[in-house]
Structure 1
Amino acid sequence: MPAVEELSAKDVGPHPLLAFLQSQPKKALSRLYQRPSSCLCIFRLLGPLERQIVMNILWLDASIPASTMSSWVVREGKKEYDQALIELSRIDVLVNSATELTLSATFKTSLRQAITGGGSTGSFGVPLPGHSEHPTPSIATLDTYALEKWESILHYMVSSGTGLPSAKPSAGVEFLLERSGLMAKAREMTSSQITSTGFQFLLHTPHDQLWALLLQYLEMSEERKTDIVEVISFLFMLSTMELGKEYSVDTLTKAQEHMLSDLRDYGLVWQRKATPRRFSPTRLATTLTSSLPPLPTATGAGGAGDSKGEGFIVLETNYRIYAYTDNPLQTAVLNLFINLKSRFPNLVVGSITRDSVKRALMNGITADQIISYLTTHAHPQMRKNKPLIPVTVQDQIRLWELEKNRVKSDEGYLYTSFASLADYEYVLKHGRELGVILWESAARRCFFTSVEGHASIRLFIERSGQNQQPNRG
């Protein structure tokens, strides 16, 4: 068994879906693990160390002594090994006692079946042959459909922040964006506007964006009293299907059939019409639990983007940016933190300025997110540079962020004009005990309290017989 630290060296954080599964009751997890496709997908989502632990005991008919497993672990990797056991136990994959280790019976049986191909549960979907009148859609057709659907959602978010016209998505998509905190309706406006969280969302990778929305979808399903096991298992089923094939609707449950209309709006599923008896998963669906890019071309915001290993941005040390793209969504995302100067066929020219970065910071985008976006989408020619992003540009972007954070504003009350230093210190001491003092100046005999602490300070002054009039600030 290789050294544990070699497996855990990669800085790969746990998948957000695993945290959601930890919150589910063991009975629901047991039902989920009855489907081989679900167990295979969960295995894919595990970290490299967790996967190796599972594989080392998957084919054992009896439990393995905990001391035997731990003896294979180098001393430096003991902490990571113990944490991996805890993570597996939390999702009920591993039965971890003080003396023995074994996989849960249901998970072991289903994962074995998924690997060996045995059984006929249909958890991987039932493929259908092509029809002469309605042939199976090509992969190019599915990619185009998924790309248009996904980019329309992101473009709607970007356009709401810039005032540019954009096609409005379905009511279900708009509701999901609002529930996710990515968009919100102002009191005086009827249409939704992008939030600070939404701006940050645009700079994430498409895989992270997709799972952020799907996790919110899962939480909404729980609120609607939908069988969460059916919802999760259908997402897992889609991720194990073959791109470019059609599958039967007849084997789906009622809850899963209802999901098809929502997943069509997100671009995960293609159907010839609204109520057919067959459907095709798109690349967005088949890559849900894999490391492959969810979209075929480099066109999304923050990674809805380029083909793997490619990019379109060239950044010079004078802060000038050349973006080799004609995609309106990519241009709109760049406009969040650069000043656009010129547009040509397949080329956008702009520059990073103090005002453009301040505008981005005001929208909730951080300096690290800007630098990360520029790094992720750097042109192949630019990747020859060491470092990839000029240090002067990185430092200046961070300095502009520090400049913004240098002054902090708080709403509260200013207490001044104390009759004596003793009175000032007496009241100030009480405010410190309450933890409501935001600022103080002994030389000027004044201090500033939070709004929440004003009532307590005011009552204390009245009881002590002082006549103090605070000023609202």
Structure 2
Amino acid sequence: MPVQSLQNTDVIVLQHAPHPLLPFLQSQSQTTLTRLYQRPSSCLSIFRLLGPIERQLIMNLLWLESALSAATMSAWVLPEGKNAYDSALSVMTGLHIAQNSTVKLALNPTFKSSLRQAITGGGNTGSFGVPADKDSKRQSANIENLDAYALERWETILHYMVSSGQGQNPAKPSQGVLYLLQRSGLMNNAHGAVLQITSSGFQFLLHSPHDQLWNLLLQYLHMAEERQMDLVEVLSFLFMLSTMDLGRVRQIQYDCEYSTEPLSETQKAMLEDLRDYGLVWQRKTSSKRFSPTRLATTLTSSSPPLPSSHSTGGSRTADGTGAVALSSGAAQQGFIVLETNYRIYAYTDNPLQTAVLNLFITMKYRFPNLVVGMLTRESVRKALGNGISADQIISYLTTHAHPQMRKNNPLLPVTVQDQIRLWELERNRLKSAEGYLYKDFASQADYEYVLAYAKQLDVVLWENAAKRCFFGTLEGHANVRGFIERRTESV
């Protein structure tokens, strides 16, 4: 392993953000991870999620039949790469991929064996899925159909998040999806029976589809135990899906449908949930075959999980396999123009993007590919009331700014940013709380005595010495009242 290779990798790893699944895996027991590593597809998927230095260390240890001296390995590392090297070893040890030893370095034997099998092939474990028997009577879904299905399911979830509670009636996801959105804290029903988006939910919309999907899947994993689902089976099925082939390629008429027969009971139960999220397509619920969508096959890769659904200034292009993919220009294309008079022009016909804007602007006009609106005190206060902060509004406008706007410095007008924050401060200057007002004390001494006792309990919210009154919390009322009654009886 050349020294220069580690030095270059060190530069890369500083820019590599750890995958959100890794901390969850590190929190699991060694027994759980060892069971997971018995599946080659799981080992390959976890290998993909690791950073470049971790991957390089694994590949250098993978084909060694005996442990390597830790001193020998560290001698290959330049001084400036020492911190990155130690961090990589810490990640591998936390995942029980590498054995925790300061003398010898070696991979977990189970992980090593499975990853070797994933790379070289062989075995009949069905870890990468078992292809269904070819059915000449039925035509399997092609890539375009799978993309359309995944996009429709995923945008149904996002559109419901931004439109529910706004006087609209969007298509409603399944009860399982709604429960997951509540458990994730992305929506709540604090203002009534109707679910509404929360501050965390709005922040969720700012993330990429890949991060959004893993945000929900992590919550799904946390719920596995209470649903009496085997966590290893849940994880291994997600990893299996991420290594499967996508759809039917027209040129070679190759069907990529997989059989449900080898799946465990836990994994068969997961199919219903994953259909609701758009990760899996089945012709009908009782079908004994299924096809993963692009949302599933890109879970552990850096490829975009969704095609473009509507034009936002970009275009859609077909890749070599016939799949509709989002071009790099369209993926980075902004669509919002904000003027100093608080007027917003959004060049989009995407109903989801329009619904997001409707959370914090007042709509004025809608054209086939243009939405015009205003940032007003009322619209921003409505957003603040739904838990959306001023910084999140500014962040959304910055993230989706039109390329023409990006020529400005600063990007957004300072006066508009300041006014949004002032509206937030205006709303937050008063706070309401339930409690009791204590007044009409017989003397100043009585007032001060009771007030001192209430302050010891830390239940005083407001006081006015001139009028001999103070306001206490609802929880502290019983203690303060009891103290006043005891003092009155003693007098």
Structure 1 window deviating more from structure 2 (258-267 vs 228-237): it is 258-267
Whether 1:29 aligns to 2:33 is yes
Q: Tell me the SS of whatever aligns to 2:11.
A: helix
Q: Which one-letter code corresponds to 1:19 in the other structure? A: P
Cα deviations by residue, 1:220-241 (Å, 9 ceiling, x for unpaired): 3321212221111111111122
Cα deviations by residue, 1:82-134 (Å, 9 ceiling, x for unpaired): 55544433332232234444332222222233334454433222345865443
Q: 2:450 aligns with which of 412, 418, 427?
A: 427
Q: 1:376 aligns with which of 399, 422, 435?
A: 399
Q: 1:327 to 1:55 in 2, by over 3 A?
A: same
Structure 2: distance between partners of 1:377 and 1:340: 18
Partner of 1:10: 15
Structure 2: distance between partners of 1:175 and 1:312: 32
1:79-118 pair list within 5 angstroms? 82-118=86-122
Q: Tell me the SS of whatever aligns to 1:94.
A: coil
Partner of 2:364: 341
Q: Which one-letter code corresponds to 1:91 in the other structure? A: L
Whether 1:242 aligns to 2:245 is yes
Q: 1:223 to 1:300 in 2, by over 3 A?
A: farther
Structure 2: distance between partners of 1:77 and 1:23: 27
Partner of 1:285: 296
Structure 2: distance between partners of 1:286 and 1:307: 22
Q: 1:361 to 1:52 in 2, by over 3 A?
A: farther
Partner of 2:216: 213
Give structure 1 stretches of 5+ with no counterpart: 469-473
Q: 1:361 to 1:53 in 2, by over 3 A?
A: farther
Q: Which one-letter code corresponds to 2:211 in the other structure? A: D
Aligned length: 464
Partner of 2:174: 170
Structure 1 window deviating more from structure 2 (359-368 vs 380-389): it is 380-389
Cα deviations by residue, 1:417-445 (Å, 9 ceiling, x for unpaired): 44555444443333333333333444554
Q: Does the aligned pair in 2 maintain the 1:3–1:74 contact within 8 Å?
A: no
Q: Does the aligned pair in 2 maintain the 1:271–1:280 contact within 8 Å?
A: yes
Partner of 1:223: 226
Structure 2: distance between partners of 1:45 and 1:160: 34
Q: 1:270 aligns with which of 281, 295, 300?
A: 281
Q: 1:372 to 1:194 in 2, by over 3 A?
A: closer
Q: 2:381 aligns with which of 345, 358, 369?
A: 358
TM (normalized to structure 2)? Answer: 0.82
Q: Which one-letter code corresponds to 2:235 in the other structure? A: I
Give the deviation of 1:356 after TM superposition. 1.5
Q: Does the aligned pair in 2 maintain the 1:26–1:92 contact within 8 Å?
A: yes
Cα deviations by residue, 1:271-316 (Å, 9 ceiling, x for unpaired): 2233333221111111212232221016699x9x994222322223
> How many percent identity over aligned positions?
66
Partner of 2:156: 152
Partner of 2:235: 232
Give the deviation of 1:70 after TM superposition. 5.2
Partner of 2:321: none
Structure 1 window deviating more from structure 2 (444-453 vs 258-267): it is 444-453
Partner of 1:258: 269
Structure 1 window deviating more from structure 2 (81-90 vs 39-48): it is 81-90
Q: Which one-letter code corresponds to 1:169 in the other structure? A: P
Q: 1:125 aligns with which of 121, 126, 129?
A: 129
Q: Does the aligned pair in 2 maintain the 1:323–1:348 contact within 8 Å?
A: yes
Structure 1: distance between partners of 2:81 and 2:456: 45
Q: Tell me the SS of whatever aligns to 1:237.
A: helix
Q: Which one-letter code corresponds to 2:302 in the other structure? A: S
Q: Does the aligned pair in 1 maintain the 2:7–2:78 contact within 8 Å?
A: no
Structure 2: distance between partners of 1:434 and 1:229: 48
Q: Tell me the SS of whatever aligns to 1:389.
A: coil
Give the deviation of 1:193 after TM superposition. 4.9
Whether 1:310 aligns to 2:313 is no
Structure 2: distance between partners of 1:82 and 1:411: 52
Structure 1: distance between partners of 2:10 and 2:463: 50
Structure 2: distance between partners of 1:187 and 1:335: 19
Q: Which one-letter code corresponds to 2:346 in the other structure? A: A
Q: 1:405 to 1:207 in 2, by over 3 A?
A: farther
Partner of 1:294: 305
Give the deviation of 1:336 after TM superposition. 0.4
Whether 1:330 aligns to 2:353 is yes
Give structure 2 stretches of 5+ with no counterpart: 1-5, 248-255, 313-325
Give the deviation of 1:72 after TM superposition. 5.7
Q: Does the aligned pair in 1 maintain the 2:437–2:469 contact within 8 Å?
A: yes
Structure 1 window deviating more from structure 2 (256-265 vs 416-425): it is 416-425
TM (normalized to structure 1)? Answer: 0.85
Give the deviation of 1:37 after TM superposition. 1.4
Give the deviation of 1:79 after TM superposition. 5.9
Q: Does the aligned pair in 1 maintain the 2:462–2:472 contact within 8 Å?
A: yes
Q: Which one-letter code corresponds to 2:118 in the other structure? A: A
Structure 2: distance between partners of 1:447 and 1:5: 61
Give the deviation of 1:31 after TM superposition. 0.9
Report the aligned-residue RMSD.
Answer: 3.4
Q: Tell me the SS of whatever aligns to 1:162.
A: coil
Structure 1: distance between partners of 2:209 and 2:42: 22
Q: 1:101 to 1:439 in 2, by over 3 A?
A: farther
Structure 2: distance between partners of 1:109 and 1:313: 51
Q: 1:49 to 1:436 in 2, by over 3 A?
A: farther
Q: Which one-letter code corresponds to 2:212 in the other structure? A: Q
Structure 2: distance between partners of 1:467 and 1:307: 79
Structure 1: distance between partners of 2:341 and 2:490: 59
Cα deviations by residue, 1:230-256 (Å, 9 ceiling, x for unpaired): 111111111122222322323322322
Q: Tell me the SS of whatever aligns to 1:452.
A: coil
Q: Which one-letter code corresponds to 2:97 in the other structure? A: V
Q: Does the aligned pair in 2 maintain the 1:339–1:351 contact within 8 Å?
A: yes
Q: Which one-letter code corresponds to 2:14 in the other structure? A: A
Cα deviations by residue, 1:43-72 (Å, 9 ceiling, x for unpaired): 233344544554454444444444555566
Structure 2: distance between partners of 1:453 and 1:54: 59
Structure 2: distance between partners of 1:207 and 1:40: 19
Q: Tell me the SS of whatever aligns to 2:266.
A: helix
Q: 1:421 to 1:220 in 2, by over 3 A?
A: same
